[in-house]
Structure 1
Amino acid sequence: MARGESGWLLDEFPYVRLGDGSRPLVVLPGATDPLFDGNYPRLAVHLLGRYYHRFTDDYTVYVISRPRGLEAGKTIRDMADDYARVLEEEIGTAAVWGLSMGGCIAQQLAVEHPTLVDELVLGVTGTRIAEGARERVDEMRRRAYDHDWQAIRAAIAAGMFSDWRRMVYPSMTASVGRFTLPTPAVPSDAWISIEALLDYDGRRSVGGIRAPTLVIGGENDPFFPPAILEETAEAIPDAELHVIQGARHGAFHTHKPTFERRILAFLDGR
């Protein structure tokens, strides 16, 4: 089991550190990140240690949340600049793995701060949300205004899973989750994050990425489908693409062994 610790980097960024490998691997979470208070209790550290255990022999894994209390109008590029401060002052150059919205931030981090990113993994993400998903994501934004966190989680769960969880998790999240799941420390962080994601379009900028890049996602992802994954990989000079058959937006959960093997092969080959 990977050794772990939690706390705050630069007194702003909630984080979990796992393992003691020689290479840093920084994980940037997705749009659900603001939906908890930012404190990683001991149980969460333990579970994340189990989740990332395949990486912690060779890497020190940092799962780094975004600050609580985001300014109105905060953009993906602003968030990338924030993470650059963390790397510069706390970790140094690292492999960066962005998931979903975190992948959009990771793209901009690699564009704006190329010396901080050794390798880039873009998981279930791309240069923009698919046009067909924008209405769904905008509905999540409206739900955030109403503080309806369970509805947001249910909508995300419906897009994530390709197995039995696709039927069970949305209803459980909207019912039992109302009493058991955490809530945001700062509610506005949720809609500010979703607005930043809706506004993001990296098609003109990702050509400036110099880090070797893996774009990996699901064949049936409603938010970042294969067309967006392909568009992203083609726009980045040194990128390879891997589409997992049958997977949706939660490919890193439902197809975890395949997802991890491909990332490790990519990272270990560099």
Structure 2
Amino acid sequence: MDFRWPPPPDGRPDRFRPPVTRGPQTGRPTLPAPPTEQIATPHGVELEWLVTGEGDPVTVFAHGLGSGIAETRPLGSAVTGRKAFFHFRGHGHSAAPGGQWTYEDLARDLRAVADLSGATRALGVSMGAGALCRLLADNPGRFDRAVFFLPAVLDTPRPAAAQDRLTALLESIEAGDAAAVADVISQEIPSQMRNTPAVWAFLRQRLDQLMRDGLATGLQSLPEQAAIDDRAALSSVTAQCLVLGCRGDELHPAAVAEQLAEALPDAELHVYDRPGILWTQRADLRSRISTFLNA
């Protein structure tokens, strides 16, 4: 299959192929994929997971829609103790039960991994942050510390622009259109960096995973859903929380981060000035997360 967008660093057309297995390059927000395992959960959905590190505490990491273990691993690189990374249903090699899924279903996946790993701390990214909200609304004392990175939805559905972009991603993957998938993914990256070798390597890795594993159709209704019915349900959460938002990100409005921090009884809020945090503020982001979780 010819693949001509975005152009490789040398400007010549290239063919879509799996990325070369090697260590991460400067500015690349992913790490080489290690072997993972399949685990059975009490609610009957087999999930793919990876546990790294040693000792306590244990932290569980929940990824965003269309992302996975590779994208959340860098966020835990400076976090002490064991770290449990996993793929939600419909992602990676995790199972994809029939029907349309809700944030309650995602919260069950997250809760199962947390219970099986003994996690007392959690980090959720975008969709994963929504699942973490739902879990804590239903089980307010489940975690000691929680990080919400780029929360996208709380008690109202995502904006129409965000729904459209996520729908375009799901439809492009379903159609097997690698160029269209790359087009959607590239919108997450600052425009001034899109033609760099690091970004090209990142796009190839994401494309390889998405075009190989796909995304289940059960995810299609998620962009139209809210994570919880009423943010007041978070008033009983006992965990110390860190909420990290960003201005100018249409998929993750800063207002959602501000509303979430206000709804949580014990929350620290930090809002970055512009999108592309994993590319432009990676060191600061890792420091904030590790300082909070390692406290």
One fold, TM greater than 0.5?
A: yes
**TM-aligned CA deviation for residue 142 of structure 1:** 3.1
> Is residue 2:245 matched to residue 1:217?
yes
Q: Partner residue of 1:65?
A: 87
> Is residue 2:58 matched to residue 1:24?
yes
Residues 9, 15 of structure 1: 8 Å contact kept: yes
Which stretch shifts more, 141-150 or 118-127?
141-150
Q: Partner residue of 2:221?
A: 195
Amino acid at match of 1:212: Q
Structure showing greater Rg: 2
Identity of aligned residues (%): 20
> Is residue 2:212 matched to residue 1:182?
no
CA gap 1:194/1:156 in 2 versus in 1, 3 angstroms? farther
CA gap 1:32/1:153 in 2 versus in 1, 3 angstroms? farther
1:1-270 to 2 correspondence within 5 Å?
Answer: 6-10=36-40, 12-33=46-67, 52-55=76-79, 58-66=80-88, 67-88=94-115, 90-126=116-152, 127=154, 128-148=157-177, 150-158=179-187, 160-162=188-190, 164-166=192-194, 177=204, 181-183=208-210, 187=214, 189=216, 191-202=217-228, 204-205=230-231, 206-208=233-235, 209-246=237-274, 248=275, 250-269=276-295
Between structures 1 and 2, the one with greater helix share: 1
Residues 69, 186 of structure 1: 8 Å contact kept: no
Which stretch shifts more, 102-111 or 205-214?
205-214
**TM-aligned CA deviation for residue 233 of structure 1:** 1.5
Structure 2: where are the runs of 5+ without partners?
Answer: 1-33, 89-93
CA gap 1:194/1:103 in 2 versus in 1, 3 angstroms? farther
CA gap 1:111/1:153 in 2 versus in 1, 3 angstroms? farther
1:49-103, Cα deviation, whole Å (9 max, x unpaired): 7774312xx2211111123223221111111112222322x22242110111111
1:218-269, Cα deviation, whole Å (9 max, x unpaired): 22222112122212222222222111223x1x42343111111111232234
CA gap 1:230/1:183 in 2 versus in 1, 3 angstroms? closer
Q: Partner residue of 1:37?
A: none
| Residues in 2 aligned to 1:150 and 1:131: alpha-carbon distance in whole angstroms | 23
Q: Partner residue of 2:91?
A: none
**TM-aligned CA deviation for residue 200 of structure 1:** 2.4
| Residues in 1 aligned to 2:82 and 2:206: alpha-carbon distance in whole angstroms | 34
Structure 1: where are the runs of 5+ without partners?
Answer: 35-39
1:97-143, Cα deviation, whole Å (9 max, x unpaired): 01111111111122223343221111111425334422222333333
Residues 129, 198 of structure 1: 8 Å contact kept: yes
**TM-aligned CA deviation for residue 144 of structure 1:** 4.0
Q: Secondary structure at the match of 1:121?
A: strand
